[in-house]
Structure 1
């Protein structure tokens, strides 16, 4: 295997290979799943053959959030390679992020079930995941639906370690009355606490006055700062995932 053909190695993961490619007609336990600049390579010391999937040959990558996480890579004409998480230390979301970073045009989908009626009948649906969705999944891990306190705790821990205070922000959402209104610029001083309804609360200053305010209603002024993406991701999650 001439690795120089694939470009730079970006990341390596361990997932079980369940089949789907003519080069390896067998199940492989914990082969190397390597993300390169030009595609994905699946190889194992237990098999002389390997699989190379170029980005331009991959049609989509489908993520299954089940008791055992699974990925299906659809390539060429109706061919599918199936990979399944076997080691708890494997971060599937990080792998999907690396795929999206290496090949932005590759479509990443998540399988979900849509409940049709009260009889619990459902049908499968597939929703696209962009890079922001993948970052959020990677940060929150496996949190059950509607368990907001656990999600808030994870966000608070992450943002406490990531954000650099103080920083300038602007109120991005309409406010109902009060002295703070949409478009106001202010200084974010620190994280204060969490609230069941408003999520993460931060200490802010506007001129000489100080307030406690929901982070979800703020946008970092400097879009190039290291604070912009974490705050934007949190606000996006608060609006779309709660």
Structure 2
């Protein structure tokens, strides 16, 4: 199943019903050649305004400290013990392999 706006919409609705919010996650930001900084996030909900975009995939609204941020669900990392781990891992596998 190729990643298209139609399929992203279906996946978005599925995740909207099955993900448990809020949850903790991390993402890595490239800060230089072969240099990364890890950021901790509190993911609040799937983004309600843009929801998804074919290039970036499904978006999630997060807080990084006091700052509100929107991150790509395909780029965040959740701990394997997190109740959402399998749902997010399945989505990321599909998104990165069928783009």
TM over 0.5: yes
Instruction: Report if the CA contact (8 A) 2:31-2:37 is conserved.
Output: no
Describe the SS at the equivalent of 1:184: strand
Which residue of structure 2 lines up, in the alignment, with residue 232 of structure 1? Answer: 89
Q: Judging changes above 3 Å, is the alpha-carbon distance between structure 1 residues 198 and 175 closer, same or farther for their aligned structure 2 residues?
A: farther
Q: 1:175 to 1:236 in 2, by over 3 A?
A: farther
Aligned-CA RMSD value = 2.0
> 1:216-236 CA deviation, whole Å, 9 max, x = no partner?
000113x12220000111111
The structure-2 alpha-carbon separation of the partners of 1:171 and 1:199, relative to structure 1 and needing over 3 Å to count, comes to: same
Question: TM-score, structure 2 length as denominator?
Answer: 0.82
**Structure 1, residues 146-181: CA drift from partner, whole Å, max 9, x if none?**
6x1111011101111111000000115x5478xxx6
How far off its partner does 1:196 sit? 2.1
**Paired positions, count:** 93
Larger radius of gyration: 1
Task: Determine which structure has greater relative contact order: mean sequence separation of CA pairs < 8 Å that are 6+ residues apart, divided by chain length.
Answer: 2
Deviation above 6 Å: which 4+ runs of structure 1? none
1:29-108 equivalent positions in 2, closer than 5 A: none
Distance between the aligned counterparts of 1:210 and 1:175, measured in 2?
20
Q: Distance in 2 between matches of 1:196 and 1:208?
A: 29
Kindly state the Cα deviation for residue 241 of structure 1 after the two structures are TM-superposed: 1.4
User: 1-side partners of 2:21 and 2:78: how far apart?
Assistant: 12
How many Å apart are 1:239 and its aligned residue?
Answer: 1.1
> Is the alpha carbon distance of 1:212 and 1:162 closer, same or farther for their aligned partners in structure 2, counting shifts above 3 Å?
same
Q: 1:176 to 1:195 in 2, by over 3 A?
A: farther
